[in-house]
Amino acid sequence: MNKALFFIVALLVPSLACAGGPSIDLSAQKSAGGGVACDIGPTYSGPVPAEASQAGLTTCAANYDFTTSAYSNLSSWLDCTQYGTGTGQWHIGVAGFPSWGGCNAFSMVADSIIGKQVLQIEYPSGTNSIESMSTQGNEGTGTIELGLPYTYYIETVYRMVGLCGNCAQNQGGPNGLFVWSNNWHNLEDDLGELYVDTGGFGDKGWINWAAGACGSGNCIIPASYKGDYPPSWGGVTAYTKYGSLVTSNGTNAYWCTYLNDTLIDGKCFTPPGGPNTNSLQNNVNVLILQTQGNNNPQNYDLRVQYIRVFSCPSYKTGRCYGTTVTSGPKSETFYHQ
């Protein structure tokens, strides 16, 4: 399935799951040491997240900490040429889908909730548009600023600004962060899709589009978060930490998904559709960050504090295979490095 169809289906399939978060600053806690050097972005001053360290994924591949001065100037890290014909850590537009508003849809703003700078991506009222940026450039064939094998821990903190009471159901998104298989093996890891229609709701999920996607039983939507956000999480307009741990032995994999460090469903999942060895071996999976709408009658914004990515030391050229199936303190199951 091509990328265009992926986005169309993603817009039309009803969201079934997820949760919001407390209105607090969920930036990393300070560590006693000197921090962790990252291949991309500033030094990360906190400890390696427990979800990453338990699997042996202690290399900081990227620290996109938009609250820091390193990201104050968009032009220093965001390539504003469609599909990434220029240089930058991120590129606007995703594999055949231009970012309709160009770089005008992206800005660094002060968020009064946390008193810090954050990245804002705006959906403009009345457009059938996607405003997106990706770590993949040049329409799927160009420079990859960050490519990953399917062995990683990623965490991010973001929220939506405003709801859209007049938006049609399931058309106020999806908004958020995705991991997408760049070489078209069609695996998708949704860290947290947020929708601003019908009071705000969202989902987490893993989809194997190549094997038939959700309609063929190749989609994971964790049972704990089917339906609207539980009120205890604060809703889509509150900052929430979304996490995803994926480990593989080269043939099989486990996917563990977290909300504010809570393991969703109290277990990890085996990605559906049968082992997809080629996809698990692929080390050019990329990140996509987006807002999306379908002629919705008002603006809405996604605000992002940070995205952090941890993998194994050889993630740029190796496959990061684990060999031992291990259990974590939250009942995780994963392949340890």
pLDDT at residue 144, rounded to an integer: 78
Residue with tokens 């741990």: 245
Supply the pLDDT for residue 240: 92
Fold assignment, 3-23+31-336: Jelly Rolls (2.60.120)
Establish how many alpha carbons lie within 13 A of residue 128's alpha carbon, considering only the half-sphere containing its beta carbon. Answer: 3
Quote the CA–CA distance of 230 and 18 in Å, as a whole number. 8
Residue 29 clears pLDDT 60, i.e. is over it: no
At 86, list the tokens. Answer: 């220029």
What are the residues facing 207 on neighbouring strands? 188, 219
Per-residue pLDDT, 3? 37
pLDDT digits (tens, 9 = 90+) for 140-189: 566 778 888 889 999 999 999 988 888 887 788 899 999 987 655 678 89
Q: Decide if 146 contacts 309 (C-beta within 8 A).
A: yes
pLDDT at 32: 41
CA gap 133, 73 in Å, rounded: 16
Label each residue of the chain as H, E or C.
CCHHHHHHHHHHCCCCCCCCCCCCCCCCCCCCCCCECEEECCCECCCCCHHHHCCCCCEEEEEEECCCHHHCCHHHCEECCCCCCCCCCEEECECCECCCCHHHHEEEEEECCCCEEEEEEEECCCCCCEEEEECECHHHCCCECCCECCCEEEEEEEEEECCCCCCCCCCCCCEEEEEECCCCCCEEEEEEEEECCCCCEEEEEEEEHHHCCHHHCCEECCHHHCCECCHHHCCCCCCEEEEEEEEECCCCEEEEEEECCEEHHHCCECCCCCCCHHHHHCCCEEEEEEEECCCCCCCEEEEEEEEEEEECCCCCCCCCCCCEEEECCCCCEEEEC
Do 149 and 285 meet the contact criterion of CB atoms below 8 Å apart? yes
Expressed in percent and rounded to 5, the helix, strand and coil fractions of the chain are 15, 35, 50
For the chain, the average pLDDT equals 81
Does 171 or 216 have the greater pLDDT score? Answer: 171
Amino acid at 207: I
Predicted pLDDT at 208: 81
- d(CA 187, CA 68) in angstroms, rounded, equals 32
- Which pLDDT score is estimated for 273? 57
Residues 6 or more apart whose Cβ sits within 8 Å of residue 231: none
What pLDDT does 167 receive? 83
Beta-sheet pairing, 59-65 with 38-40: parallel
pLDDT of residue 232: 60
What are the domain boundaries of the chain? Answer: 3-23+31-336
Lowest mean pLDDT among 10-24, 180-194, 308-322: 10-24
Spatial distance between the Cα atoms of 332 and 101, rounded to a whole number of angstroms = 41
Average pLDDT over residues 199-213: 81
What digits encode the pLDDT tens for the residues 266-303?
999 998 754 455 556 666 788 999 999 888 888 899 99
Confidence band for 16, pLDDT divided at 50, 70 and 90? very low
Is residue 101 predicted with pLDDT exceeding 50?
yes
Q: Which of 18-32, 84-98, 246-260 has the lowest mean pLDDT?
A: 18-32
Contact 1, 209 (CB under 8 A): yes
- Dist. CA 246–CA 131, nearest whole Å: 27
What amino acid is encoded at 72 in this protein?
A: S
Q: How many CA atoms lie within 13 A of 223 on its CB side?
A: 5
Rounded to an integer, the average pLDDT of 105-112 is: 96
Q: Which residues of 280-304 are buried (b: 16+ CB within 10 A; e: fewer)?
A: bebbebbbbbbbbbbebebbbbbbb
Identify the pLDDT of residue 48: 95
Question: What are 281's two structure tokens?
Answer: 């071996």
Give residue 8's pLDDT band: very low, low, confident or very high (50, 70, 90): very low
Q: Return the higher-pLDDT residue of 130 and 64.
A: 64
The Cα angle at residue 196 between residues 298 and 292, in degrees rounded to 5: 70
pLDDT at residue 160, as a whole number:
94
pLDDT higher at 50 or 207 = 50
Selected residue with higher pLDDT from 148 and 108 = 108
